[in-house]
Amino acid sequence: MSLVVAKKIDNYLQIVSDSKLTAEEQIYGNPFLFGTLKTIITSVNTCISFAGLVEKDGINYPKIAFEKIFDTESMPLTDILEILTDVQKQSKYETDFIVAHQNDDIIRLIKIQNGQLYEGYDTFWIGDIDGFNVFQTEFLNKSSDKDLTGEEKSSVMFDAFTQVINNATVKSVDGLLVSIFNKNGYFEYLEGINLDIHKKTTIKPKQSKAKSCLLGKQKMVPLV
Amino acid sequence: MPFGEAEDGSFGIAYFTNEKDNPFAIATYFPQGRMGVLYAPQLSLERILIKDVSDEEFVKIIKEKYKTELSGFIIDLKRGQARYLGKTRARFKVNYNIQYTTSPSNEK
């Protein structure tokens, strides 16, 4: 199922998505290695995300769409929307898409779901509703009562999605956290490092009789 | 402080992205596993798995074989250092989570 959240923050756009690949009656291996990119930059000003049904009976629906879109250089947005709407219909409306498109300073965000095009909102999401509920709770908790800058909201969005991936109850959202933003007028993937470091230390008997204990420390460092 | 090895349960991911004017790509390298995955949809809609390489070799192979220059962080697990490779990006994100497990020594 997966989850994709796209949000206009001030004058730019950020999209976050996971990489877990699931299909009916089949769960693929380690999502870090066997996942798929759910958000694909197709040109400097266009980015397409998908969630829902990926493959059934040997037919990979997003692949059908992307093969057509990559086949034509600088494909107009109307043609892209037509292809995605057609593929959505082929998937029996089980594969949903979000298209982000920038023309000069105008960013358009369009969702394709249930055979319809939706536009005019600053936030769209597709995929797992439980995952989105966790995301929304985390995002609102950390951003609602503070006067955050766009950069800080963007960081909160990233952290909220990290919580969804780490949440064991949201089984269909997992693997890599792929983030895209377009602050400089073109779409870019976000780079960085994610480290989970386990350190073992030994306590001498005089210091403590405790058999074991676990301490957690987490610090997010957004570097701009 | 070392970043930790696989036998300790440590786990890391370095996210590399394409340099400007290169095919759009994101590549993830797993330093403890010495392997990485390239996603470059303009070149291939399938993921490209590259095994048994250092992160510098990973970036070099992608540049030579797939004509895609990447930027991101090269990680030295033993020294606990990260070095930026590539031109300066607008934004990047560094997350780390440290778990300390303490146990009594066998010393009497």
Q: Assess if residue B11 is contained within a domain.
A: yes
- What pLDDT score was predicted for residue A205? 56
Classify residue B98 as left (phi > 0), alpha (psi -120 to 50) or beta.
beta
DSSP classification of residue A10: T
Residue B79 located in a structural domain: yes
CA B101 to chain A, closest CA, distance in angstroms equals: 5
How many domains does chain B contain in total? 1
Name the amino acid, one letter, at A44.
V
Bridge-based pairing state of the strands B48-51 and B35-39: antiparallel
**Cβ of residue A32 closer than 8 Å to a chain B Cβ:** yes
Residue B51 lies in a domain: yes
Residue of A nearest to B102 (CA): A201
Q: Which of A70, A152, A193 to mutate to test the interface with B (most CBs of B within 10 A)?
A: A193
Closest to A94 measured CA to CA, from A118, A123, A114, A67:
A114
3 state SS of A156: helix
Q: What pLDDT, on the 0 to 100 scale, is given for residue A204?
A: 63
More confident residue, B32 or A27: B32
CA dist B9 and B32 (Å) reads 10
SS3 A192: strand
Q: At B62, which helix (H) or strand (E)?
A: helix B55-66
User: Would you say residue B41 lies in a domain?
Assistant: yes
Checking DSSP bridges between strand A123-127 and strand A188-189, what pairing results, if any?
Answer: unpaired
Residue B64 lies in a domain: yes
Q: Chain A: residue nearest B94 by CA?
A: A193
- Nearest CB to B95 within list A36, A194, A199: A194
Report the pLDDT value the prediction gives residue B86, as an integer from 0 to 100.
84
Quick one: closest CA in A to B12, which residue?
A: A195
Greatest alpha-carbon pair distance for chain B in Å reads 63
C-alpha–C-alpha distance, residues B2 and A116, integer Å: 52
Q: For residue B12, tell me if it sits in a domain.
A: yes
Is residue B102 assigned to a domain? Answer: no
- CA nearest A36: which of A189, A143, A178? A178
CB pair distance less than 8 Å for A199 and B101: yes
Q: Residue A102: which H helix or E strand, with range?
A: strand A95-103
CB contact under 8 A, B15 and A192: yes
Q: Are B107 and A207 in contact (CB under 8 A)?
A: no
pTM: 0.85
Mean pLDDT by 10 residues, chain A (224 residues): 90 90 61 84 93 89 94 88 97 96 91 96 95 95 82 89 91 89 84 81 56 36 37
pLDDT for residue A213:
35
Quick: pLDDT tens for B40-99.
Answer: 998 988 889 999 999 999 999 999 999 999 999 888 888 888 888 887 665 677 777 777
* Facing B9 at nearest CB: one of A63, A187, A198: A198
Angle at A141 between CA A138 and CA A143, to 5 degrees: 100
Domain that holds residue B73: 6-85
Give yes or no for A106 touching B (CB within 8 A): no
Who among A178, A192, A214 is closest to B99 (CB)? Answer: A214
Domain architecture of chain A: domains with CATH: 3-189 (3.60.20.10)
Question: In the 8-state DSSP scheme, what is residue B6?
Answer: G
Indicate if the alpha-carbon torsion angle A186, B75, A214, A19 is positive or negative. positive
Which residue do the tokens 């095994």 mark? B51
Which positions ≥6 away from B22 have C-beta within 8 Å?
B67, B68, B69, B70
CA atoms within 13 A on the CB side of B22: 21
Q: What is the ipTM of this complex?
A: 0.83
